A = this chain, B = another copy of it.
Amino acid sequence: MTTHQPLTAIGFDADDTLWQNEYFFRLTEEKFSSLLKDYAESDHITERLLAAERRNLEYYGYGVKGFTLSMIETAIEVTEDKVPASVLHDILRTGREMLRHPIETLPHVRETLEELCGSYRLILVTKGDLFDQERKLAQSGLGELFDAVEIVSEKTQETYERIFHQHAETPHQSMMVGNSLKSDILPAINAGSWGVHVPHDLTWALEHAETPSDSEARFYCIEHLGLLPGLISELP
* Interface presence of A37 (CB below 8 A): no
With a cutoff of 8 Å between Cβ atoms, the chain B residues found around residue A100 in the complex are 59
* Interface presence of A130 (CB below 8 A): yes
Chain B minimum-CB-distance residue to A81: B85
Which of A65-73, A102-110, A226-234 lies at the interface? A65-73
* Interface presence of A92 (CB below 8 A): yes
Q: A residues 68-102 with Cβ under 8 Å of B? A: 68-69, 72-73, 76, 79, 81-86, 88-89, 92, 95-96, 99-100
**Chain copies in the assembled complex:** 2
**Cα A62 to Cα B65 with chains together (Å):** 11
With a cutoff of 8 Å between Cβ atoms, the chain B residues found around residue A59 in the complex are 96, 99-100
* Interface presence of A30 (CB below 8 A): no
Q: Closest approach, in angstroms, between the C-beta of A189 and any C-beta of chain B? A: 24
Q: Closest approach, in angstroms, between the C-beta of A172 and any C-beta of chain B? A: 25
B61 touching A131, Cβ below 8 Å? yes
B60 touching A88, Cβ below 8 Å? no
* Interface presence of A134 (CB below 8 A): yes
B76 touching A88, Cβ below 8 Å? yes
**Cα A99 to Cα B153 with chains together (Å):** 14
Name A131's contact: one of B69, B76, B134, B153 (CB within 8 Å): B153
B61 touching A130, Cβ below 8 Å? yes
Chain B minimum-CB-distance residue to A91: B72
* Interface presence of A129 (CB below 8 A): yes
* Interface presence of A36 (CB below 8 A): no
Chain B minimum-CB-distance residue to A82: B85
**Cα A38 to Cα B4 with chains together (Å):** 72
* Interface presence of A151 (CB below 8 A): yes
With a cutoff of 8 Å between Cβ atoms, the chain B residues found around residue A62 in the complex are 131
B60 touching A76, Cβ below 8 Å? no
With a cutoff of 8 Å between Cβ atoms, the chain B residues found around residue A83 in the complex are 85, 88
Q: Closest approach, in angstroms, between the C-beta of A115 and any C-beta of chain B? A: 27
**What are 10 pairs between A and B in contact, CB < 8 Å?**
A59-B96, A61-B129, A65-B65, A69-B92, A72-B72, A72-B92, A76-B89, A79-B85, A82-B85, A88-B88
Smallest CB-CB A-B distances: 8 pairs: A61-B131, A81-B85, A65-B65, A130-B130, A131-B153, A59-B99, A59-B96, A76-B85
Q: A60-B65, A65-B66, A130-B153 are in contact. List 14 more A-B contacts (CB 8 A).
A: A56-B96, A59-B96, A59-B99, A59-B100, A61-B131, A62-B131, A65-B69, A72-B88, A72-B92, A76-B88, A129-B130, A130-B151, A130-B152, A134-B153
